[in-house]
Structure 1
C-alpha cells in the first residue's frame, strides 16, 4: 500500500558530509565587518557555524543575538539558556544541508548530531533569521527517534543522502525567485493550479532516510520511493510561505501545521494527515483485521499535530528533491510562528 505524498511507513520529508566544526575562531569571528545591513552567504554561514559551536560549548551567550529575539525548541518557546540542545549536544559537524536566503536574511540547515555519546543518533534541523547581522529568530527541532515524527528516520544516513542537495550540476538552469515563491505557495495548497514536473531521479527523503515502505505486514516495497506532486496532499491555508528561498541552489522551505492521527503500522506506528482520508481508511481496515485475527498489541489511533518544514529543490524546470521534516505534538496544537 502506498499513500500519495506520504508512505505507509511514514508520512512526509538534506547534503555534504559532516565535518567537525572548528570552535577556535568561530566564536570570535566577526559577522559585522561591513557597514551595510546585508548579511552575505559567507556571513550567514558563519552565524550557522557559530550556533553549532555554541551548542558544543554549552554557551549560547557567545552568539550575536539581537536585543529581542524569538526562539523555539521543538515548538516550545524558551530562552536559549533553558533549551535542551545547549546542555546535551556533544558532537556536531557542518550542516549536511544549508539553504541561505540573503534577500530575507534567513537560513535553513540540517545535520546529524550526538547527544551524550560518540554515535550520531539525533537529527537537528532549524531555521534562523538575521537582521543587521544579529539573530532575531531561531526555530529549532531535534528528532531523536521515529516516535518524534512517525515516519522514516536515519541520523546515520543523513549526510550521504543529502550530499546531492549541496552539489547541483554546474550547468543547471536556475529558477527565478518568482518561480520558487510560486512553488512555496503551492506546497500546501492542493487547490493550486501550478504544474510541477518531477525529475526522474528526484530524491525523496524523510528525516534523513530515503523512504522505503515495507508495508504494515512487511510485504511491501524494497525500493526507495521517489518524489511526487499529487492533487491530494496535506493542506494548510495558513502555511508559512517563503521561509527560505535559496536562489543559488534552488531550495525552497515552507512551513505548515498538519492535523492527523498516529496509527499502528505493523509493530511500530506512522503519522497520517487527516487530509489523507483514503490512507486513514485503509489503515482503519488493516487495524480491524488485525484485531480480529491476532493477539498483537497495537497502538490505538491517536490524534496528533505535525509541525513541518518541507524542503524542495527545483532547477532545470523540474522538482529535483523533496524532504519532509516534521515534529509531532498533541491534537489541535498551533505554532508559535504562525501568530
Structure 2
C-alpha cells in the first residue's frame, strides 16, 4: 500500500566478484582481515551471494555450497532448494542493489530486481542467508511480484536508484558501534526498550523499492515522499528475530517480525493495516462505509492477514538515516517458521 502499512510499521556498489568460492584449504585475505579455513569475510560472503544469484539464472541449485543440513524458505514455505520456484523462473539477476554483510554472525541480507520470463516481468527479491564454515545453513527468500503479495507499494524499476545512498554513505560519517546497532534492532518491534531514536531530516523511506507517497484512497492526498518515523505506537512483536544482520561498516540492521493485521480496500487497490494501528483501521472502516453507500467502484472484502516483516534500518551520525520495509502476506493467525 502507499503509506498505511508504512506508517504502521514505522509507526511500528558493492561489486560482486565472479570468481569461484575459496576452497576449504585456502587462507584468503579479505577486505576486513584474514579469512581462514572456516571464517567468511565480506568478500567471501559477497561471492556466496553471487553464486546464489548465478545459480538461479542457470537453474542449477547444485552449484550452491550447502551445509549437510540447511533451513530454507521461499515466500514463507519451507522446502528443499531443489523444489523452489526461483531456480525455475529467474532469467536475469544482476548484482544486489543492497547488500548488508555481518561478518561477526556470518549472515547477509540482499535485495535486487530480478526478471522472470520476458524483460517486462520484473519482481523484487529480498533474501537473507547465514553461512557457517563457508556453507549456507539458512536461506530465507521473498519474491514480490505484485502489490498483492505484500499490500505495499512496489517498484522494481526504482529499487537500484533508491538504494544508492545506502551503499554509498558519507565517508566522514560517525559509525555506530555494534552495541548501538543491536539496541536499535531490539527496539524496532519493542517499544519498552527505552532506546531513543532520532530520525534524520533526510531519512529515506522505502517499501519494496518504492520511495513511498500516500495520496490516500481517493487520490486527493499528498504526492510528496514520506519520511521515516520511529514513534512509540509502532507495532510490537515479543518474538521478533533480533540481529539477523548487523553490518557495522554500512550501519545497517535487519530485524524480523510477524505483524497481524487486515487487508482493506484502498481505492480500487488494497492495503495491509496492522491491528495495532487501531486509528488507521477505524479510518479505513469509515471510508469503506461511505464508498459502499456511493456504490461507484468495486471494493475488496476486508480480510484478516499476517505480515512477515524484514525491517531494514540504516543508522549513523547518531540518527536513523534510512528505512526499508519488506513484507510478505499470509493468512490470519500465522507465525514464522523461523521462530522456534
TM-score by length of 2: 0.93
How far apart are 1:12 and its partner, in Å? 4.9
Q: CA deviation at 1:294?
A: 2.4
Conserved? CA contact 1:5–1:230, under 8 Å: no
CA offsets 1:154-208 (integer angstroms, 9 cap, x no match): 0110000001100000110000000000000000012332111100100000000
Unaligned runs of 5+ in 2: 28-35
SS of residue matched to 2:88:
helix
Change (3 A) 1:3 1:122: closer
Distance 1:130 1:45 in 2: 11
Alignment root-mean-square deviation, CA: 1.7
Alignment of 1:5-24 (within 5 A): 6-7=6-7, 12=9, 16=13
| Aligned twin of 1:154 | 155
Cα distance in 2 for partners of 1:268, 1:37 equals 49
Corresponding residue number in structure 1 for 2:233: 232
Distance in 2 of aligned mates of 1:278 and 1:93: 41
Distance in structure 2 (CA, Å) of the matches to 1:70 and 1:333: 19
Tell whether the 8 Å contact from 1:5 to 1:229 is kept in structure 2 after alignment: no
Corresponding residue of 1:171: 172
Question: Is the 8 Å Cα contact of residues 5 and 272 (structure 2) preserved in structure 1?
Answer: no
User: For residue 317 of structure 1, what is the aligned residue in structure 2?
Assistant: 318
Any unmatched runs of 5+ in structure 1? none
1: distance between equivalents of 2:192 and 2:165?
31
Distance 1:3 1:190, change over 3 A: farther
Give the aligned partner of residue 67 of structure 2.
Answer: 66
**Separation of aligned partners in 2, 1:329 and 1:5:** 15
Q: What does 1:320-335 align with in structure 2 at a 5 Å threshold?
A: 320-335=321-336
Determine if the alignment matches structure 1 residue 217 to structure 2 residue 218. yes
User: d(CA) in 2 for partners of 1:182 and 1:31?
Assistant: 36
CA distance in 2, matches of 1:120, 1:165: 26
Q: For residue 31 of structure 2, what is the aligned residue in structure 1?
A: none
- 1:49: which partner in 2? 50
Match of 1:30 in 2: 22
SS at match of 2:156: coil
| 1:255 aligned residue | 256
Contact 2:5-2:273 within 8 A present in 1 as well:
no
Larger displacement relative to structure 2 (36-45 or 256-265): 36-45
Question: 2:91 corresponds to which residue?
Answer: 90
Distance 2:194 2:4 in 1: 18
2:125 aligned with 1:124: yes
Cα deviation 1:111-144 (Å, max 9, x = unaligned) = 0000001236100000000000000000001000
2:217–2:267 CA contact under 8 A, matched in 1:
yes
The alignment of Structure 1 onto Structure 2 pairs a total of residues equal to 328
CA contact (8 A) 1:52 1:92 kept: yes
In structure 2, C-alpha distance between the alignment counterparts of 1:58 and 1:224, rounded to whole Å: 38
- Scaled by the length of structure 1, the TM-score of the pair is 0.93
Q: Would you say the 8 A contact 1:4–1:230 is kept in 2?
A: no
Please report how far the alpha carbon of residue 4 of structure 1 lies from its aligned counterpart in structure 2 after TM superposition. 7.7
Q: Matched residues in 1 for 2:220 and 2:182: separation?
A: 40
